[in-house]
Amino acid sequence: MKKLGVYICTVLTITILLPTVIVKTFKFVPKGNTAKGESLELEEPVVIEEEIPVKTNKLYETIKIYDGKKEIVNEINIEDYVKGVVAAEMPAEFHMEALKAQAVAARTYAISRSIKYKDGHPNHKLAPLCDGIHCQAYLSLPKLKEIHGDSWIEKYWPKIEEAVNSTRNLGIFYNGEIIEPLYHSTSGGRTEDVQDVFAVEMPYLKSVTSPYEEEAPKFKSTITLTTEEFIGKIKHKYPDVNLTKENLHEKIKLIEKTLTGRVKKVAIDKIIIDGRELRELFSLNSTNFTISLDKRLNIIEIETYGSGHGVGMSQWGANGMAKHGSIFEEILKHYYTGVEIKELTFDN
Ligand SMILES: [Zn+2]
């Protein structure tokens, strides 16, 4: 019979997003290498300490960066450092205004960390920042040349320099204090409140809409498994659950979502796990996912929106806003609630 493929599609629509949770820990993760689409942030949380009030915005012109491979500390001019971060953290093909927003966020992040970890970061005691995605990725010009080749440098380095030079010395402030501007690759349509992700409160890291992300390679992704594969993975990690092909549709339930709809808690049979654990188990880009079971085809489809922790500026959203006419200040003020963009002064 010619049925129009209406099959029994059941179920489990687990919406969501995010990883909830890491109480008292915090990882900055700038979603390194957005361009290459790596994922990110779930490794090694960094302990977050109380915010240290910044009494003045007088700062140094150079910044100390720990080179994890060579195990040495380099002291780099802040503006040169920001160029290397923009190049490492955002695709150079992006719109100029998005690159400028990234430059200001990278500079602000570096300075706020340098103040907070003046005597060294607990994970790299020799310097407040490292050159990896643990802090924010940085690549020197020779390294960029090695990775991308001369023609890339010729085409994009002047663009990166312009983004950084034209925003020279600008930083992001909330109530007169420099902020810690988290950013990520793709939110999936709405960013996450930092409280729901890292269990800390920051008034400028609230959930906001993030339109125009559709071009992001990880805006939406789907993985397909057979029912057996799906059950096998879950039972490998949680051997005591009673899960079979027959009872699957009633044994997995969404318990709690974050305010933006990311998966916070899921029940599998009698145990309750974080959305973040399911994200790790199935290597999903974010906790903004839905799971559906097609009984007839015996397959499970997991559809994920966004990439990264979802907090702060979405890089693909920034590019989308820029293409729709927003300038870098508007982009930053959109993603960081209630902030001002101001000149930093240096203590010479
Ligand atoms: Zn680091």
**What DSSP line would sit under 173-205, residue for residue?**
EETTEE----EESB-SSB-B-HHHHHS---TT-
Task: Name the β-bridge partners of 226.
Answer: 299
Average pLDDT, the chain: 83
More confident residue, 305 or 150: 150
- Distance, in Å, from the CA atom of 332 to the CA atom of 314, rounded to the nearest integer, reads 10
Q: For the chain, first and last CA: distance in Å?
A: 82
- Ligand 1 centre to CA of 344 (Å) is 23
Residues of the chain with pLDDT > 90, as a percent, come to 61
pLDDT value of position 314 = 96
Among the listed ranges 30-39, 117-126, 269-278, which one has the minimum average pLDDT value?
A: 30-39
Percent of the chain whose predicted confidence (pLDDT) is above 70: 82
Query: Could you tell me which residues come within 8 angstroms of residue 162 by beta carbon, excluding any fewer than 6 positions away?
Result: 96
State pLDDT tens for residues 203-232: 999 999 999 998 888 888 899 999 999 999
AA identity, residue 158: P
pTM over 0.75: no
Predicted pLDDT at 197: 82
Ligand 1 center–CA 310 separation, angstroms = 20
Q: What is the pLDDT of residue 9?
A: 38
Ligand 1 midpoint to CA 134 (Å): 4
Strands of 32-134 (E only): list them.
Answer: 46-47, 58-59, 62-67, 72-77, 129-130
| Other Cβ atoms closer than 10 A to 73 | 17
Give the pLDDT of residue 12.
38
Could you tell me the distance, in angstroms and rounded to a whole number, from the CA of residue 259 to the centre of ligand 1? 30
Tens digits of per-residue pLDDT, 62-107? 999 999 889 999 999 999 999 999 999 999 999 999 999 999 999 9
Which residue has better confidence, 186 or 23?
186
